[in-house]
């Protein structure tokens, strides 16, 4: 963010540039706020608990307050959860974690962690896209994340940056296919067509390279799961 300076050396042209930059930032913040207000309202209409945290630090504080220190916490494969350092905070606080991304973990241990997530007290995950009318769309390969989000853990907390908000389910699907999955493929070093081009060419994508196996849409809160969506006013994950 550019800052206005009181220096006498500021020329009128520089001051004008700074004013424009501040006005643009203000307009962006205003738009984010309006968008988030609509999404939070519609998530609540759909039965979810929804709240907004302007920064990742505030999000972590709110989420830690929701999780008892003795709770077993399942962690979905999520860059967002690591990016906001929530996993680190939970680990340092002493929560038992079911984490299949734990460094150095064996294949068998990862499988056990995925299974353990289904019986955790609280399951944490992100989502691939949130629509303006308050629905969550996800695509998984194994399905452990979407399974635990739907049934099993009594409480689920979904954390997502505002970059995951899209207009509707059509745009949500485009986002997952053309943004989230290509980036995920790149991170994993797997080789579906989107890992080369950055966009989905589904008709040319087959096993074993294909990552998209399971698609879920949470249109409303699952009956037996207390689901909270925490929207964070930053770009997080992908
Ligand atoms: S269907 Fe294949 S190409 Fe398309 S997003 Fe999924 S993994 Fe990538």
pLDDT tens string 107-142: 999 999 999 999 999 999 999 999 999 999 999 999
pLDDT at 11: 86
pLDDT the model gives residue 9:
59
Confidence bin at 66 (pLDDT 50/70/90): very high
Please say if the pLDDT value at position 144 is more than 70.
yes
Q: Which residues line ligand 1 (CB under 6 A)?
A: 177, 181, 192-194, 200-202, 205, 210-212
- The answer to whether residues 221 and 47 touch, using CB atoms and an 8 Å cutoff, is yes
- Rounded to an integer, the average pLDDT of 147-169 is 97
Ligand 1 atom with least separation from CA of 193: 3
The pTM of the full predicted model, rounded to 2 decimals, is 0.90
Residue 195 has pLDDT above 70, yes or no: yes
Where do the domains of the chain lie? Answer: 12-232
CATH 3.40.50.10420, domain 12-232, yes or no: yes
pLDDT of res. 2: 46
pLDDT, tens digit (0-9, with 9 covering 90-100), for 1-13: 445 455 555 688 8
Paired tokens of 183: 């980036």
Q: Is 71 exposed, middle or buried (0-12, 13-18, 19+ CB in 10 A)?
A: middle
């Amino acid at each position: 963010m550019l800052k206005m300076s009181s220096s006498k050396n500021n020329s009128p042209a520089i001051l004008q540039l700074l004013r424009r930059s501040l006005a643009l930032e203000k307009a962006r913040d205003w738009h984010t706020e309006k968008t988030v207000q609509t999404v939070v309202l519609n998530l609540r209409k759909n039965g979810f608990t929804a709240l907004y945290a302007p920064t990742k630090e505030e999000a972590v504080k709110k989420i830690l307050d929701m999780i008892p220190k003795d709770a077993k916490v399942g962690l979905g494969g999520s860059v967002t959860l690591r990016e906001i350092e929530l996993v680190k905070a939970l680990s340092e606080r002493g929560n038992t974690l079911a984490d299949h991304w734990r460094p150095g973990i064996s294949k068998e241990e990862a499988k056990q962690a995925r299974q353990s997530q289904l019986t955790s007290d609280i399951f944490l995950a992100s989502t691939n896209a949130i629509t303006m009318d308050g629905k969550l769309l996800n695509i998984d390969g194994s399905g452990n994340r979407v399974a635990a989000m739907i049934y099993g853990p009594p409480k689920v907390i979904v954390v997502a940056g505002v970059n995951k908000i899209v207009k509707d389910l059509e745009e949500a699907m485009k986002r997952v296919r053309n943004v989230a999955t290509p980036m995920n493929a790149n991170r994993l070093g797997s080789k579906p067509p989107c890992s080369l081009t950055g966009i989905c060419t589904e008709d040319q994508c087959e096993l074993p390279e294909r990552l998209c196996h399971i698609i879920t849409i949470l249109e409303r809160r699952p009956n037996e799961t207390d689901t909270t969506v925490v929207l964070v006013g930053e770009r997080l994950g992908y």
